[in-house]
Structure 1
């Protein structure tokens, strides 16, 4: 059973932590969908403008950056206003909290945003006639909403007398900077919005349960999140803590009366009763419907142990001189460990039996249990003039704890 994404923020003197939750729950209405659903509440820019963030998700983080000295006109990138974000894919390992089983998650920062706040109004700093012209005039190259490459602009920028809200996309990793055209005595970014993309593992190949892991980005000069040598962060690390919840389904439905299996010859008993011809075998095919989204294995438990499978006991004499062999045929979308279809695969009493793997969520797909007594045992069971009744319990187990 796998994954929800919900949000939790905590701030320490040195780190900011954002929880990312995702869930996998099989959906009978969309069985081809084998992906986690992000359950982390969006916040910040992506909550206000979700369509501008798609296909990413976004959160607002309590990371504040403040200039340590005035930003001089024509200052270098590192002494001015710059950003370098971790736009490349990073990997982390998540582990099942109960079994220790691991899987890999990948993440990248695909966009970011904030609000710069000036020490004075942009009009006072530049002498421009209005706020809009003042913010444009304050920076070489014009409007702050249009970043330097490799960054790309978001759709919805806004401003006031002494602030400007922005959102920049990061299709690749690199420095995106703005050079001041006027002296700015002091400046800060009040928060950090990030939009992220995820690559999650295939939940069908994961056991049910909670998987946790963390990915930490360094924040500061020369770190993963780098805003230069002047505008410095109030925290040195940003940690994304992942919780993936896998919620698998394994359900088997047997038709009414299917729990009582009567083994008969091909065409019935007439040839034996009327002509004394012993049947080649006794058998019964019992259908079932299986709903499954995870690996599982199958084995049997026998009331009377046989040499290779389950014994049947003569109700009169108490002998167990018959054996019933059980095999299974599964739907085409379920294969064995070698990727081969499952056709009349023998079942044994070993709980260490090889597993079976669906390639998608199956909802009430048809399978068949094959019960058969081979000829060698039929010869022993049927004796002229002797009526016998053989019976025994055979329990078929579908086990998701592979």
Structure 2
């Protein structure tokens, strides 16, 4: 009889990293993503350590088991060795709806676990107490794993019992951190993997609304990105971080009550014309509005009567028409694509002639102005005595966040 035993295959570990941007009216200058990944492991237990360094941690169900006894004074690869991907690594994230791409950078800022010995530290070393046993097991007074092996650095925490020691080390630079045993260790386990990470995200004000997704993968094991030497071997060969950046922009425009009706008049009113016959230089009206914007947007017009670029007003008979120019001035914080302030920027008809504007920071209910004007030569045409008539028309001004 032939018996076949199937060993369980190693599986890749996937972990979602989620961050959100929404504009904050209380702090409009802070244009940053906020971590929305549930915190677990080290940062959940010691939140101040991570808050001070703006890092976040996750605990993964990834184990490392010793493949052979760890011998005293062994080479680095046969000791408790850690080489962690602390350098910044770029990855591309893509907007699921628009296909726009942005670059995110991530680095592993710290790592930790709990080593579990096959026997107590006292039995392995002959020390008088568990804490002394853990210290001398790894080389004396500085051997306890609350003290990181350089270039890894101290995190401020460490917990132990008779046969385990919980640790977390920071990784300010790329390097190999090694603890060398001073006594034989028949077997040892790291029973989970904690890691903290830092992100460099794009400026969300330059991104369209929506979900941006992308991933970065790491090899786990000897010679990999997470390399724990040749003795401590992982339960899983791969780790993939799946990034989801959620951008939720604001674009809101408020027109004061009655602001939808625009009466164009000369400077000082019509008295000079009615009493002395002095023709107005122009007809105009400035209409204020309040705008809240955290992303790029475009502006253009639609109207029932227009020439190549702008809207027209018609007389009561519908036979004669004149050009009306419409322009916009935007508040501080909103510029054109060249980064210049927006002062009396002419608006055009149709989306093909749209002007695009962008925020330097979140603008919250700041005042802008729409300028409506009929120039002098058009006014002269309107006031010809033989055909004098009221002129009217409609204009729809569009603020569009879909750029």
Quick check: 1:76 aligned with 2:69? Answer: no
Aligned to 1:42: 39
Deviation string, structure 1 residues 8-62 (Cα, Å, up to 9, x no partner): xxxx933111111111111111111100110111101110011122321111111
Q: Could you state the TM-score of these two structures normalised by the residue count of structure 2?
A: 0.94
Aligned to 2:199: 198
Aligned to 2:390: 389
Quick check: 1:52 aligned with 2:49? Answer: yes
Cα separation, 1, equivalents of 2:320 and 2:179: 88
Cα separation, 2, equivalents of 1:387 and 1:175: 88
Cα separation, 2, equivalents of 1:136 and 1:308: 80
| Pairs within 5 Å for 1:297-376 | 297-315=298-316, 317-352=317-352, 353-376=354-377
Q: Contact conserved, 2:325 with 2:374, CA < 8 A, in 1?
A: yes
Deviation string, structure 1 residues 213-257 (Cα, Å, up to 9, x no partner): 111111111111000011010111111111111010000111111
| Pairs within 5 Å for 1:191-340 | 191-315=192-316, 317-340=317-340
Q: Contact conserved, 1:337 with 1:354, CA < 8 A, in 2?
A: no
Cα separation, 2, equivalents of 1:124 and 1:209: 58
Deviation string, structure 1 residues 248-280 (Cα, Å, up to 9, x no partner): 000011111110000011111111111222211
71-80 or 139-148, larger mean C-alpha shift? 139-148
303-312 or 214-223, larger mean C-alpha shift? 303-312
Quick check: 1:107 aligned with 2:106? Answer: yes
Cα separation, 1, equivalents of 2:101 and 2:308: 39
Q: Could you state the TM-score of these two structures normalised by the residue count of structure 1?
A: 0.94
Quick check: 1:137 aligned with 2:136? Answer: yes
Partner SS for 2:135: helix
Aligned to 2:5: none
Quick check: 1:154 aligned with 2:155? Answer: yes
Cα separation, 1, equivalents of 2:363 and 2:186: 64
Q: Contact conserved, 2:347 with 2:355, CA < 8 A, in 1?
A: no
Partner SS for 2:77: coil
Shift of the alpha carbon at 1:307? 4.4
Cα separation, 1, equivalents of 2:237 and 2:201: 27
Deviation string, structure 1 residues 319-368 (Cα, Å, up to 9, x no partner): 24212110111112111111111111110013132310110000111111
Cα separation, 1, equivalents of 2:181 and 2:308: 86
Aligned to 2:176: 175
Question: 5+ residue gaps in structure 2?
Answer: 1-8
Partner SS for 2:133: helix
Cα separation, 2, equivalents of 1:264 and 1:368: 17
Cα separation, 1, equivalents of 2:374 and 2:188: 85
- The counterpart of 1:24, out of the listed 3, 21, 25, is 21
Shift of the alpha carbon at 1:396? 0.3
CA RMSD of aligned residues (A): 1.3
Find runs of 4+ consecutive structure 1 residues off by over 6 angstroms.
Answer: none
Partner SS for 1:75: coil
Aligned to 1:4: none
41-50 or 53-62, larger mean C-alpha shift? 53-62
Cα separation, 1, equivalents of 2:307 and 2:375: 13
User: What is the aligned residue count?
Assistant: 390
